[in-house]
Amino acid sequence: MQTIGLIGGMSWESTTEYYRLLNQEINTRLGGLHSAKIVMISIDFQPMEAHMQRGEWDQCENILSDAARKLESAGADCFLICTNTLHKVAPGVSEAVHIPLLHIVDAAAVKIKSEQLHTVGLLGTKFTMEEQFYRGMLKEKHGLDVITPPAEDRQLVHDIIFNELCHGTVRDQSRVEYMRIIDTMSKQGAEGVIEGCTEIAMLVNQSHTDIPLFDTTTLHVQHAVHFALNN
């Protein structure tokens, strides 16, 4: 089994899910007392979020690149950035080390294509929904068409993530709003919806809808476990 490196803390609420799910998945596959071999660097999210809001993505890249180098030095054989949004700087971070970055978009797209879907809705932060680093990769690399909510709903989705879910707060009314947005995208042609923020599954999961949901946290974990056990 290879060692999985995690860059977490963005937010720590979802990073706890990464740790739990990685160990559960390894134990399910190997049995006994097996657990995942993990090295983690956890980021203080407050200054990182401030850099994001100011558009200082070079600073975000520097912080994550430093974390990736530490993971490599600690013995990680691969690494994950445990958040969707910060994959905006994934190319530069990947170039900072010699171990592979397992990209969260690839993990989601493989699952979506395995279910023969072609058009998906996308929920996440405004950065993820509006910029090309995520939607563009889904389209250009994986051939998927992407539907996003209108501007007002994108802001609502974004605010619920940062003001509630990143603090561990789960509100029924916020779930109602997310379900409304998901239903609207489905009516517009989305065959499934990517939960493109690692906190969204705290609020909405498959028990809440018949529309296929793609939980990027779980899919990223499964991608990492496959790598760790097959390389």
Other Cβ atoms within 10 Å of 87 Cβ, number: 22
- Give the distance from CA 158 to its chain's centroid: 14
- Just list the catalytic residues: 83, 197
Which residues does residue 215 pair with via DSSP β-bridges, in sequence order?
A: 195
Angle, helices 104-114/216-230, rounded to nearest 10 degrees: 100
Q: Which of 29, 49, 51 is nearest to 230 (CA)?
A: 29
The owner of tokens 């949901």 is 213
Question: Within a 10 A sphere around the Cβ of 171, how many other Cβ atoms?
Answer: 12
What SS3 class is residue 83?
coil
